[in-house]
Structure 1
């Protein structure tokens, strides 16, 4: 069995966000769920394994998401930040076609998502 080398990491807030983006992605990506907040201890367990990867951040367009984004910008200054439309607010409430379009600029995505 051939091991796939994962070179990209995508940080999201919740389990539903992770499920949704995994439906869209068509390449090996380490999708990391923060569960909303990050303590210093949790942050270290997330950052250490991915600091050599291409890191992307996709969090909700709300106060909690922006707070998390600021924290991640400090800790992972080279990460690419992806933004969902503020009208949708949360990643999980963003229509799948909009998320697919957003992610397709950075990842290989599936042609059709159901």
Structure 2
């Protein structure tokens, strides 16, 4: 299997859907479906070979997202953290243009139409 070198880790399917909408290219996006146990995290790391890849953590700003980010950072110290403004609370509720800007700043190719948007 030809694996992409980068991987984004998000909490849920709606987060993945939002990122896929904004990204210009196919990227591997892993959903944790909430907080992981230590065992489940080890399995995830092994399955996706996360120690050998560029990992980006993109979780919500609520308690479960902060807890998950902390756990992931303990195991994946090389991971880069991507943050949304706490006013949005959840990745899936963050406007596309904001997501596009965050991803572009992390050197992901984004659909340029989303960089032009703004809140009205």
Fold conserved (TM > 0.5)?
Answer: yes
Indicate conservation of the 8 Å contact 2:55/2:78, yes or no: yes
Of 24-33 and 90-99, deviating more is 24-33
Structure 1 residue aligned with 2:45: 47
| C-alpha distance in 1 between matches for 2:52 and 2:26 | 16
Alignment partner of 1:36 out of 34, 39, 43:
34
| C-alpha distance in 2 between matches for 1:45 and 1:22 | 24
| C-alpha distance in 1 between matches for 2:8 and 2:93 | 18
Number of aligned residues: 112
Of 42-51 and 52-61, deviating more is 42-51
Of 6-15 and 32-41, deviating more is 32-41
Indicate conservation of the 8 Å contact 1:11/1:32, yes or no: yes
The yes-or-no answer on 1:8 pairing with 2:9 is: no
| C-alpha distance in 2 between matches for 1:51 and 1:23 | 27
Structure 1 residue aligned with 2:19: 21
Structure 2 residue aligned with 1:75: 75
Indicate conservation of the 8 Å contact 2:20/2:26, yes or no: no
For the aligned residue pairs, the C-alpha RMSD in angstroms reads 1.7
Of 38-47 and 80-89, deviating more is 38-47
| C-alpha distance in 1 between matches for 2:3 and 2:73 | 25
**Cα drift, residue 4 of structure 1:** 5.9
